[in-house]
Each structure stands twice: as structure tokens, then as C-alpha cells.
Amino acid sequence: MKKVFLITILGFMSMVSFAQNKIDLTVKWNAAQSRYEVYAKPNFTNASFTWGTSQITVVVPASAPDNNLSVTSVNAGGWGVDASNRIFAPAADATHDFHAVQSSGQAVALTTNTETLLYYFTFSDGQCRDGVRLFVNGSDPSSSASGMKGGDYSNAIDNGLVTDVYNSNYSNSGTSCSTCNITAPELIK
């Protein structure tokens, strides 16, 4: 009996390790609303996912104003950035500024492969800038890189159990402010 119980427990543990919940992130320019929007896309469904303390870092061109982003929370807690959570044009990457947008978390409904808007933001001057993207863990400057002042700008999503469920970014080559609305001419019959 003990052997069957042990095999059952080991089987369950191996299934859990293969079915880990992960969340991907992206940032988009919404031309109709004149704002940038940050979305989460999970590989699982949970009607009341416990979104814990988290950080999603926005990387912007160094030409952007050296001010806080104007952040508006939508889901998963009160998102915000302050002066201690930003670096402007550090020596390790002088062409970009880094804004760590943080939340203490809050329950949120998530659906498999469906985007959920977490927050949106604008620059202090209200202008759109091409090339806004999210921080790439393991590729963008680490806390020990020149000019980063010891700040960790890595993306992290706590599931409320001190487990990071952040996976990766998608469509993260940089936003574009222009919208291309080409209409093909009608063919004459």
C-alpha cells in the first residue's frame, strides 16, 4: 500500500512540474487612445489568479523626457513607478532609459492565451516614441552593469506563493507610432 501511495505522489509531482503556470508580457502602442499598453498572456486559466508583488520594466529611447511615466493601473494591483525605480541612459546602454513599473498585486481573472491589460502609460509630454519595449531578462543590463546603480530591472511576477511565473516577452521588437492604413484600389470589371 505504501508503494502505491508513493508512486501516486511521485506521479502527481511530476505532472505538476510539467504543467507550470507561466505568463508572457508585451507592450503595444494604442493609436486610438494615444497611450502605451502593457498586457499579460498566461498559458493557463484562473478566474481569480493571486497576482503578487511584481515588476515589469519598460525600456524607452533615451530621447524621452527624463520624468516618471504617467501610469494608470487596470488589473493586478496598483501599478506605479517612482524616482527610485528608473535609470536614464546608463553607461551600460546609453540609448535607453529604464522604468521599473511595480505592483503590490491583486487577484485578476486570466484566460489561457488571452491578453489581459495590466496598465497603460504615457510620457510626461504626451508624445509617442518608436522603439518602446519591455526589459529582456538576461540580455538587458544587470544590476551590476555600469550606470545601473545596483538596481534590478528584471521582470518578475509573483504568483502570491513567492514563485516567479514570468516567462518571456512576445512581440518585443519595439513599438511603432505610425499606423499604416493602405486601401487597395478597386479592380475594374
CB 113, CB 39: distance < 8 Å: no
Range of the domain at 118: 20-141+152-167
Q: What is the DSSP letter of 185?
A: P
Mean pLDDT on 92-99: 97
User: What pLDDT is stored for residue 162 in this prediction?
Assistant: 87
User: What pLDDT is stored for residue 27 in this prediction?
Assistant: 98
Number of domains into which the chain is organized: 1
Position 78 in a domain: yes
Position 56 in a domain: yes
- Check residues 3 and 120 and name the one with the higher pLDDT: 120
Residue 142 CA to residue 154 CA, distance in Å, equals 8
Q: Is the pLDDT of residue 79 over 80?
A: yes
Q: pLDDT tier at 13 (50, 70, 90 boundaries)? A: very low
Position 180 in a domain: no
Position 189 in a domain: no
Specify the CATH number for the domain of residue 82: 2.60.40
CB 119, CB 77: distance < 8 Å: no
Position 52 in a domain: yes
Position 13 in a domain: no
Position 30 in a domain: yes
How do residues 140-153 score in pLDDT, each as one tens digit? 999 999 999 999 99
- Check residues 82 and 105 and name the one with the higher pLDDT: 105
Position 147 in a domain: no
User: What pLDDT is stored for residue 101 in this prediction?
Assistant: 97
CB 118, CB 109: distance < 8 Å: no
Residue 117 CA to residue 64 CA, distance in Å, equals 23
How do residues 150-165 score in pLDDT, each as one tens digit? 999 999 999 988 899 9
Q: Is the pLDDT of residue 11 over 50?
A: no
